Amino acid sequence: MRDSIATWQQVDTALSRLLVIETEVGLTFAQAAIDAGSTAECLHCRILARRAYDNAGRWLTRARLTDEDTQALRNKLQLLGRTLRKLGDPLRDQNGNHDGRPQVVPPLK
């Protein structure tokens, strides 16, 4: 029994680390999109930032975090969402609607 408890604690720790990393990666790619020298590079970075945003949002509902950690991650995700909207990303609205197109990462040339 103790082994399973320890295992689940390790899973929770790993998941919280994943959430922090995904959010930071998303913010990094969003900033790279802002600083991009070309439209193709901007789009490439924006799509990668969106993937990180989606992944973090998906895993956030499954994580067992403290209220403080959850709020800190939500704040960062909100910042990332606002940045993505400024970059023209079609995020879901408050009703959960979106354009339905898959995000394809174009190759950089």
Contacts of 16 (CB under 8 A, 6+ apart): 63, 65, 69
Q: Block means of pLDDT (10 residues each) for the chain, length 109 residues?
A: 83 89 96 95 95 91 86 93 92 51 55
pLDDT, residue 94, reads 45
Question: Of 45, 46, 54, nearest to 19 (Cα)?
Answer: 54
Give the C-alpha distances (Å, rounded to integers) separating 6 from 10, 18, 19, 20, 60: 6, 18, 20, 21, 21
Q: What is the pTM of this model?
A: 0.78
How much is the pLDDT for 99?
46
